[in-house]
Structure 1
Amino acid sequence: MQTYDNIINGKPLASTETFESYNPATSEVLGLVARSTDVQIGQAIAAARKAQPAWAALPDANRREYLVKAAAVLEENAAYLAELVTREQGKPLTGPGSQFEIQACVDWTNVPADLELPVEVVFEDETRRDELHRKPLGVIAAIAPWNWPLLIATWQIMPSIRAGNTVVIKPSEYTPIGTLEMVRLISKVLPEGVINTVSGDGTVGRRLCENPDIDKIMFTGSAATGKKIIQASSENLARLTLELGGNDPAIVLPDADPAAIAEGLFWGAFINQGQTCACAKRLYVHEDIHDAVVAKLKGLAEAMPMGNGLNDGIVLGPVQNRRQLDIVSRLTEDAKARGATIVCGGNSIDGPGNFFPVTLVTDIENDAPLVQEEQFGPVLPVIRYSNTDDAIGMANEGDTGLGASVWSSDTEKAAAVAGRLDAGTVWINRHGVIHPMVPFGGAKKSGFGLEFGIEGLKALTQPQIISISKAEAA
């Protein structure tokens, strides 16, 4: 059985300890993965620290050229990497699945390569000129999740190195192979030490975050883990960008056309089997069109083939791991016990894989755990409302605020509602549609810091003011 090693200073590094990675559709073991020791974590950080000054000293145009080379490597290896993602994460190859994820990796590599970060003149008069320059921070610790294991790793890596930083990335212990293989491939076209990896469980992540040579931490994942990262970073006062998930509401106004919005709503909720931070996870539908919207969604749910994503025609895969499957099952069973109606789905599917069908739940109160907790799976509670103010109030309940959406035939009316929602991004007549040039980040306890575009790139730099006197030298 193949063992997947870490990449440190451009070379593979084996470990005396390994762990297994599984296929969530079949439960088969895919391979063994090196478990980083404390010594190896230190070696990875030291390699990044050693490489960073020379990398930062390169002309900006040269670093941008390296990113273009990395994007080409991703293109050349797209089929190989997509199959790894399907085997390890579970999303199907086609549709909004693994091939989509790898192409997005290419796009999120090329865009930072195109961005400009010019010197800004922040003040000037007859006596002085004050310029804002942007310098790299140093060594970035990146901790990637299991739901989009290559794409989110790309979000963390590429802007970081574009800005002149070096990176040590830890993939999720549930999906390490694809991320390790992506780094192995792109490291071949980068100078040694620019990207390094460590792998293992949360202990490895904690050791990485608390190291005094880490200058910034980027993390996407749960709020509980985010709090642990904040505690660990108190040792080194590292800067933080934390995307801590959400429980995104979608509000359907009474003038919406159920047939026109059904497909957008469906994929806004169930892309990647609902395992996306910015998926719609609770749906508020006006009573006038509630039944029609639910009927359209039910028709789509029952028509979508689910199974092993390597098979032809499959568009929905498994829940990635048993722990998450248990959460989805628990919340669904609680809804049943409260008297909610299961419109379709409702029970995990027997077999070796972690399959749970698309499940629509109606006749449920807003205070039910299925509504108030982020289920992060293929279950959508649908709450009937009669007054828009009430819908907005329910949507704003809770302590998360990553995304939200409003659906209406009247864009101006939808925009007025959108402005009243507590979320970092509010989409109108779509949900979760991100773009590499559009800043993305959460409100409330969905984290802090921005990613993507110019704002995301700036977040990976240290501003430096150079103040120039115009007075003649004495």
Structure 2
Amino acid sequence: METYFNLVSGASASASDVYDVKDPATLDIVARAPVSTIDDLDAAVAAANAAARGSWANDLPARKAMLAQCAHRIEVCSAELAHVLSREQGKPLAAAKGEIATSVRLLTYYAQKDQRRETLRQRSSEYVDVVRAPIGTVGLIVPWNYPIAILMMKLAPALWAGNTVVIKPAPSTPLTTLMLCARLADILPAGVINTVTGEGDIGQALVEHAGILKVSFTGSTQTGIRVMESSAPMLKRLTLELGGNDAAIVCRDANVADIAPKIFNNAFANAGQLCCAIKRLYVHRSIFDPMLERLIEIARHWRVGPGLNWDTQMGPLNNRAQRDHVRALLDDAVAQGGTIHVGGEPLDGYAGHFLKPAIVSDVSDATRIVKEEQFGPALPVLPFDTVDEAIYRANASEFGLGGSVWSTDVSAAVDAASRLEAVNLYVNQHAVPPDPELPFGGMKASGFGYELGEWGCDDFSIRKVLNVNAGVE
């Protein structure tokens, strides 16, 4: 059985203990990953701190050149990375390849990005400029749903800004991250990227470590609250991208035949394990029945299976706890009078964490499957009578990650979408792939701070205000 190793100071680190990483489709062991100790974390942070004091922080042209080399290396290794990603995460191989391609695209963008000049004031005898500096050593805590794409949303701008990093992947999906970092070890200076692996205890220790000056965390709201509490005594900088319960509003003039497949894809991509997936669908009552019928028909024919099967459109959920959570929400919906029209059952012949895509109706906004984030293949469909009502119901949520409005009247849809209490707003689309030019973040219980875009670069930098008196002779 192959064993993967952490990367510390440019070399593979020894491991005192390992654990099994299993394929969520078959429950077979894919490989073994190290269990990091506090000593291992100390070594990783020390290596990152040492690298932060070197030339890396002050040489943007050199950093850009190395990021370009990293992008090329990942592209060359994309096939093996995608294969491991599909096996440990469960997603279809085509989706895994797309995720690796996204990471290459993000790195390539930052490899070409120049530092922007920003002047706050310009007068004849004085000017005020913004000067940006790296923060130092940053902790990146990455979830299991998109372990490489989300890693690169953090890693690429963090490195571009001149930081060094300690990466903590999710315990169920560490392998692709470890393989990727190992492939980049001979390109980057020793200590610029380091990894630790294991359960939540090592993640907690990373957050609390005095040598970590910022934490960028993607995960559940509950864990995000603990991250914020643990980092508060040190006034640590934070980016928290937390849970979501995105609503999509389908107006009466929407073309059902055209948008139903797009809505289905946005709800069930990655088996619904996407923070900004459509998780509540509000449909105008006049077109509710045809929309519901079309979604049911798509779900019936959706091909569910192991990610490495060539025809799989949706793989398993990544872990048993998430599968059981979604199944509990479906059971509660039925207990509250709801109807599961299709899906929700396991896949015959497989021991893994499968649930077929479920379409649910006849539930109220107070039902758990509407109120909570399911983060899985189950979509509640609810009727509404007016757009104002739909917006009010969409906003009656603790979350504020994303939302969309679907209509042939684009101007009216833009007005409605702008009233949603969420950061990432869409019209006639939802949850577009990560775009390095566009910031991504949340509000309310979905967190704060940004990744990508200029705002994301700012969040990985210290912005200084430089006042210059140019009139001195």
Q: TM-score range by the shorter chain?
A: over 0.9
Q: Distance in 2 between matches of 1:174 and 1:280?
A: 24
Is 1:458 the counterpart of 2:461? The answer is: no
In structure 1, distance between residues paired with 2:138 and 2:354: 36
- 8 Å CA contact 1:141–1:216 kept in 2: the answer is yes
Instruction: Show the counterpart of 1:211.
Output: 209
**Does structure 2 conserve the Cα–Cα contact (< 8 Å) formed by 1:139 and 1:216?**
yes
- Using the alignment, how far apart are the partners of 2:58 and 2:389 within structure 1? 56
What's the offset of the Cα at 1:17?
Answer: 1.6
CA distances 1:115-154 after superposition (whole Å, capped 9, x unpaired): 2223322112133111111000000000000000111111
Residue 446 of structure 1 corresponds to 446
* Greater Cα shift, 99-108 or 53-62: 53-62
Q: State how many pairs are aligned.
A: 471
| Contiguous gaps of at least 5 residues in structure 2 | none
Matched with 2:125 is: 127
| 1:378 pairs with 2:369 | no
Indicate how the Cα distance of structure 1 residues 280 and 314 shifts in structure 2: closer, same or farther if over 3 A, else same.
Answer: same
Question: 2:355, 2:362 → 1: CA distance?
Answer: 21
The equivalent position to 2:235 in structure 1, one of 223, 229, 237, is: 237
Q: How much has 1:365 moved relative to structure 2?
A: 0.7
Indicate conservation of the 8 Å contact 2:57/2:134, yes or no. no
Residue in 2 that maps onto 1:305: 303
User: Please, which moves more after superposition, 127-136 or 169-178?
Assistant: 127-136
Letter in structure 2 aligned against 1:14: S
Does the Cα contact within 8 Å between 1:252 and 1:407 map onto a contact in 2?
yes
Aligned to 2:180: 182
Q: How does 1:335-374 map to 2 (within 5 A)?
A: 335-350=333-348, 351-374=350-373
Separation in structure 2 between the aligned mates of residue 153 and residue 262 of structure 1, nearest angstrom: 31
Q: Indicate the larger mover: 123-132 or 380-389.
A: 123-132
- Summarize the alignment of residues 33-432 of structure 1 with structure 2, pairs less than 5 Å apart: 33-94=33-94, 97-350=95-348, 351-432=350-431
Alignment-mate amino acid for residue 64 of structure 2? R
Q: Is the 8 A contact 2:92 2:308 kept in 1?
A: yes
Deviating more after overlay: 382-391 vs 113-122? 113-122
Shift of residue 7, structure 1, vs aligned partner: 0.3
Q: After superposition, give the CA deviation of every residue in 1:323-379 in whole Å (9 maximum; x if it has no partner).
A: 000100000000011111111113233531111000000111111000000000000
Alpha-carbon distance in 1 for matches of 2:36, 2:344: 39
TM-score, normalised with respect to structure 1: 0.98
C-alpha distance in structure 1 between counterparts of 2:201 and 2:32, whole Å: 18
Task: State which drifts further: 145-154 or 49-58.
Answer: 49-58
Q: Distance in 1 between matches of 2:469 and 2:358?
A: 66
Partners of 2:181 and 2:359 in 1: how far apart? 39
- Partners of 1:349 and 1:357 within 8 A in 2: yes
Question: What secondary structure sits across from 1:288 in the alignment?
Answer: helix
The structural deviation recorded for 1:244 is: 0.3
Q: Report the secondary structure of 1:24's partner residue.
A: coil
- Contact (CA 8 Å) 1:362, 1:382: kept in 2 or not? yes
Q: Would the aligned equivalents of 2:249 and 2:283 in 1 still touch at CA under 8 Å?
A: yes
Contact between 2:48 and 2:192, CA under 8 Å: does it hold in 1?
Answer: yes
Tell me the distance in 2 between the aligned counterparts of 1:126 and 1:255.
57
1:221-276 CA-to-partner distances (Å, cap 9, x unmatched) read 00111011111212422100000020000000000010010111011101101000
Letter in 1 for 2:107: T
Q: Is the 8 A contact 2:57 2:163 kept in 1?
A: no
Deviation at 1:57, TM superposition (A): 4.3
Q: In structure 2, what is the Cα distance between the partners aligned to 1:57 and 1:377?
A: 41
User: Deviation digits for residues 157-213 of structure 1, max 9, x if unmatched?
Assistant: 111011000000000001111111111112221111000000011110011111111
SS at match of 2:93: coil
Distance 1:408 1:454 in 2: 30
Root-mean-square deviation (Å): 1.1
Code of the aligned partner of 1:59: D
Query: Counterpart amino acid of 2:371?
Result: Q
| In 2: Cα distance, 1:387 partner to 1:145 partner | 37
Q: Secondary structure in 2 aligned to 1:150? A: helix
CA distance in 2 between partners of 1:196 and 1:55 (Å): 18
CA distance in 2, matches of 1:75, 1:393: 45
The gaps in structure 1 that reach 5 residues or longer are: none
